[in-house]
Structure 1
Amino acid sequence: MTERLPEGVEDAQFVRILLLEDSDLDAELAEAHLRRAGFRYEIERVMTQADFEVAARAGCHDLILADFRLPTFDGLRALELARELCPEIPFVFLSGMLGEDIAVEALKGGATDYVTKQRLDRLPAVILRALAEARTVAERRRVEQALRDLNETLEERVAERTRELGAANAELQRQIEERERVELVLRKSQRLEAIGQLTSGVAHDFNNLLTVILGNIAFLERNASDPAVQRRLGLMRSAAERGATLTAQLLAFSRRQKLEPKPIDLNETVASMRDLLQSSMGGSIRIHTALQEGLWPALVDPTQIELVILNLAINARDAMEVGGTLSVETANVQLGSPRTSEEPPPGDYVMIAVTDTGTGMSEEVLARAFEPFFTTKDIGKGSGLGLAQVYGFASQSGGGVRIDTRVGEGTSVQIFLPKAVQAVAGARPLGGASASVLGDCVDGRPRVLVVDDDRDVREITAGLLSGLGCQVVEAGSGRAALAALDDDHGRSIELLVLDFAMPGMNGAEAAREAKRRRPDLPILFVTGFADMAGLLAASDAVEEAVVQKPFRREELEKKVRAVLRRSNQALQPSASAP
């Protein structure tokens, strides 16, 4: 049965009540008190144990009101069933003959409260209190359950948070290490760059000195007839040439050497060097090659790469005991971000690696391996320029170097060279032998303007050219050379021989101004080091138009002849010209 309050009644509370009562009168009296109290209610009344069990098991009530004395079973049994089937629903006894001792026993059994039928006016208040207590108990249970759930997941959440913090810490540590590595690479790169600038300047000055020494030795050798004097001059030439080799290595490290890169097959290069490597290694060292099929062509100076391979092989020989193995490997590689300052940027490269089974390098030695003049060999057994030369050559070629080493197990030096766009060119037939006199390529005695700020070097160059049959005009600077070209005799000058590194106006700048005045004037550079970009901008053919100091008379003659021949061919009218 359901009773609804008239409109306008405030604070009405809707209550679903399970009423266990066998008396119709008592049931009506209970409802009357609920109505007077302003309750909105719904009552489901049962009278037997079976009906009570069904209703209690449904669990859809807010309150149970139960009589204590029933025909088929008593209130204590009903309380026991309620605690078993719906323990969260408050249970209130409503009885006319409930003694004190029974009431206490009922409360101990789990009853929420009790009301005697003689005091039904207390029923609304008891119901409100029972419902409030039930809500409090339910809230407490909810909080307790939430706390249990929290405790159960706390360990997991702590572990998850610990993992997150560990990952964040690892990422931070990785960033710190990466920053330190980049800073270390940058400092090392800056240090090597500074050393390179210093060594290039020193090499230039030494090349000037060696040019004077070797030039004067050549003059003395032609005029000396005493065998003892000839022997001493030979010793002097050998010492000067060793100095020239050292300066060439310095120029290689500082990336100032003159390179002539061409597309080449490194597999063919290694195969052609096998006999040379075996003879250099001796019979006790085994040579193993691993050449990749389908190797990309490499854009590199063929002569210099052979010298680099031989250099590395000799270093490997010195690091191995008797019976070691030297391995030479080629491969196509695709590199990612560089790990050291010596490695090249990401991209496709042709790799050649020289590996030994020697003593290896420690971390301290590896950190300084590319520094010029750093060596672990005994005094007199190494200049410390080998790996510096390899690094400079690879960098200037557009590649880089990597060293993998382990103490007691050996070292692998990997050189990465740029991949050539063009295929390897076939062998070109060599031209005939050059004539011994300049008259073969020009008529009469060519008039040559020699420009060098170093008087001694200028004198040697002029003397050699005079010995070749040239008429020589000298100038000590770029501006003086331009003034000589502008005077009355300037039009008779057939060749301009320029030092590249000069104060004020360098050779490239002087060449550009000279070409503006005389576009057809051939130019030959004589230099202690070469800024190839500047030379390319100022000359027509770098390969034929550069003489590296210190030079021999034969080399100077060959380059002068080539430049003049090319100039004369350019001036000849074509067969189809009118």
Structure 2
Amino acid sequence: MEHVTQPDQATQDDVGPAILRILLLEDSDLDTELLGAVLDDLGRPYTIDRVMTAPDFTAAAASCGHHLILADYVLPTFDGLSALAIARTHCPGTPFVFVSGTLGEDVAVEALKRGATDYVTKQRLDRLPRTILRALAEARAHAERERAVQDLRDLNATLEARVKTRTSDLAAANAELHRQIAERERVEEALRQAQRLEAVGQLTSGVAHDFNNLLTVISGNIEFLERAIPDERSQRRLQMMRGAADRGARLTAQLLAFSRRQRLEPTPVELNQTVSSMRDLLQSSIGGAVRIEMTLQSDLWSALVDATQIELVILNLAINARDAMAVGGCLTIETANVTLTRTPAHAEEPVPGEYVMLAVSDTGTGIAPEVLARVFEPFFTTKAVDKGSGLGLAQVYGFVKQSGGGVRIDTRVGEGTSVRIYLPRAEATSPVREAFRPVIDCAEQRRAGDRPVVLVVDDDSAVREITTSILSENGYRIREAGSGLAALSALESDACVDLIILDFAMPGMNGAEAACQIRLRWPHLPVMFVTGYADTAALMQAGEVGAERIVQKPFQRGELARKATAILAEASVGPAGLRLVVGQRHTA
């Protein structure tokens, strides 16, 4: 049954749907007509779906397609409370109003307890429109509250998920921040360590250079006195003095190794052969209480290092390992090809690249963390006063870094230590080019039998005197200059010299810079360096880096004269002993 009237707009907005769908449970046709007449007073369109049996009511309630349920309390085969139970099961949000002529007060109260929205007696049907409007309003308010509660639940669930996501993001950001802080602290510590070692290295190299100049004067004068004093007792004393000077020279060599100012001659070296050939020397050096084991990789790359210095490094590390094993143990030497990709954590460690790795490991006492932080500092030692100078690992550090590699120490207190040095892999070398440069013809200015002329350049007058005295005794004519600029000025006046001997470290223009200028202006003139330390890169720029063109201070007996003679012998000599205008061979 459907009845449509023109609705009041305000009422419609307040109570809900435009067409009110009513489910009516009523067996009386007359009562149904009466209800229809009363519902016309609602002032809004409505439809009525009438049912009289329990199955029909159940099906209609299960569809949940109605806005309101009106039900009689007493039916022939069905009762209102059963209908209420069915409605609350299938459509609990739909308002349920009893309309009955036999509904007593007790029954009405029971119905309300079970979920009925309201009740109206058939004797007071005039109350029905207001009851329906109130029931629809309450239902609408209840539905809105339910939606609000559900929205709140959804919001809480979403908020919990958002909080969880945000918490996870913050935790990840916090972990990344901690990682960055730790990385920054590691880099800053590595930088501080590198700066500290560099500062100590610069100070050490300066001290070693000045000390070598002093030793050069002492050793040179000892050599002159040995030839001048025949007394046996005095000779013994001079030998003691020479021995002390030699020990001083070895000490400065270790200092120069740490400061990376030593002269190296890197060549491709087969480390497996080097290590194997040193077994007997190592065993005799560390004693029979220590067992030596070697693990050598069969296809080991060649290492680009100074062959002599690497032997000293191995021996040094072996002796350190022996001292860490007071009651004997095992010394293991290992070689391997390694490719590093990790950024170095400390200044002494190697940068990424391909290396030949040499490891010397022991089963000794290990190194405590506070000691490990200082092991590469010169003169730092935990040994007794007469047991070590503290230069061993400093020398290893300087040699490896100057060679282009790095060193890493793995240690555990009470278990042992492994020192790994990483040496650059030797690559194929480029072919040597030969070129010929013209020389100046000085033959017209010379007479047959004239002695070769050597220009000695050194800012230290005492060292210069020793150098010129040695050369004069070996038959050379001497010209002197106290600086690089003075040498260039002297050559501008007279470039007819046979050999130039340059001190490397001089104020103003050092020996390497002076050599570069000499080669530009007088390319035929051979140059030899004497040095308390040698900056290899600068010497390479000067174009003279071979072992026969460098003499280390303090001079070894006969070395200066021997190398000067060898250099002069390379020049072409005519029948009268004079230099010819043929050309000076230059390798690049």
Q: Is TM > 0.5 for Structure 1 vs Structure 2?
A: yes
* C-alpha separation in 2, matches of 1:40 and 1:248: 113
* C-alpha separation in 1, matches of 2:47 and 2:501: 120
Q: Choose which of 329, 349, 352 in structure 2 pairs with 1:346.
A: 352
Q: Is residue 102 from structure 1 mapped to residue 107 from structure 2 by the alignment?
A: yes
Partner secondary structure for residue 77 of structure 2: coil
Q: In the TM superposition, what is the alpha-carbon distance from 1:561 to its structure 2 partner? A: 3.1
Q: In the TM superposition, what is the alpha-carbon distance from 1:542 to its structure 2 partner? A: 3.7
Q: Retained in 2: the 8 A contact 1:211–1:551? A: yes
Give the match for residue 192 of structure 2: 187
Give the match for residue 375 of structure 1: 381
The 1:571–1:409 alpha-carbon spacing in structure 2 relative to 1, beyond 3 Å, is: farther
Aligned length: 556
Give the match for residue 550 of structure 1: 554
Partner secondary structure for residue 108 of structure 2: helix
Give the match for residue 225 of structure 2: 220
Q: Retained in 1: the 8 A contact 2:7–2:45? A: no
The one-letter code matched in structure 2 to 1:299 is: L
Q: Is residue 323 from structure 1 mapped to residue 328 from structure 2 by the alignment?
A: yes
Residues 29-428 of structure 1: pairs in structure 2 closer than 5 A: 29-144=34-149, 164-335=169-340, 336-422=342-428
Cα distance per residue 1:515-561 (max 9 Å; x no partner): 23311111111111112222111124443322121121332233223
The 1:48–1:506 alpha-carbon spacing in structure 2 relative to 1, beyond 3 Å, is: same
Q: Is residue 499 from structure 1 mapped to residue 503 from structure 2 by the alignment?
A: yes
Q: Is residue 17 from structure 1 mapped to residue 22 from structure 2 by the alignment?
A: yes
The 1:219–1:153 alpha-carbon spacing in structure 2 relative to 1, beyond 3 Å, is: same
RMSD: 2.7
Q: In the TM superposition, what is the alpha-carbon distance from 1:348 to its structure 2 partner? A: 1.9
Q: In the TM superposition, what is the alpha-carbon distance from 1:492 to its structure 2 partner? A: 2.3
Cα distance per residue 1:152-191 (max 9 Å; x no partner): 8988887766655544433332222222221111111111
* C-alpha separation in 1, matches of 2:211 and 2:146: 94
Give the match for residue 563 of structure 2: 559
Moved more, 110-119 or 180-189: 110-119
Gaps of 5+ in 1: 426-441
Q: In the TM superposition, what is the alpha-carbon distance from 1:195 to its structure 2 partner? A: 0.5
Q: Is residue 517 from structure 1 mapped to residue 499 from structure 2 by the alignment?
A: no
The one-letter code matched in structure 2 to 1:355 is: S
Moved more, 140-149 or 13-22: 140-149
* C-alpha separation in 2, matches of 1:213 and 1:232: 13
Moved more, 120-129 or 182-191: 120-129
The one-letter code matched in structure 1 to 2:387 is: K
Cα distance per residue 1:314-335 (max 9 Å; x no partner): 1111111232111111112222
Partner secondary structure for residue 501 of structure 1: coil
The one-letter code matched in structure 2 to 1:463 is: S
* C-alpha separation in 1, matches of 2:7 and 2:157: 50
Give the match for residue 454 of structure 1: 460
Give the match for residue 436 of structure 2: none
Cα distance per residue 1:123-156 (max 9 Å; x no partner): 3332232223223333444455566677789888
Give the match for residue 433 of structure 1: none
Moved more, 372-381 or 169-178: 169-178
Partner secondary structure for residue 123 of structure 1: helix
The 1:37–1:511 alpha-carbon spacing in structure 2 relative to 1, beyond 3 Å, is: same
* C-alpha separation in 1, matches of 2:2 and 2:401: 98
Moved more, 317-326 or 144-153: 144-153
Q: Retained in 2: the 8 A contact 1:263–1:423? A: no
* C-alpha separation in 1, matches of 2:583 and 2:455: 26
Partner secondary structure for residue 271 of structure 1: helix
Q: In the TM superposition, what is the alpha-carbon distance from 1:366 to its structure 2 partner? A: 0.5
* C-alpha separation in 2, matches of 1:73 and 1:270: 108
Give the match for residue 485 of structure 1: 491
Gaps of 5+ in 2: 432-447, 574-579
Q: Is residue 468 from structure 1 mapped to residue 474 from structure 2 by the alignment?
A: yes
- Normalised to the residue count of structure 1, the TM-score between the two structures is 0.89
Partner secondary structure for residue 94 of structure 1: strand
The one-letter code matched in structure 1 to 2:541 is: A
Partner secondary structure for residue 340 of structure 1: coil
Q: Retained in 2: the 8 A contact 1:401–1:414? A: yes
Q: Choose which of 539, 542, 546 in structure 2 pairs with 1:538.
A: 542
- Normalised to the residue count of structure 2, the TM-score between the two structures is 0.88
* C-alpha separation in 1, matches of 2:286 and 2:581: 52
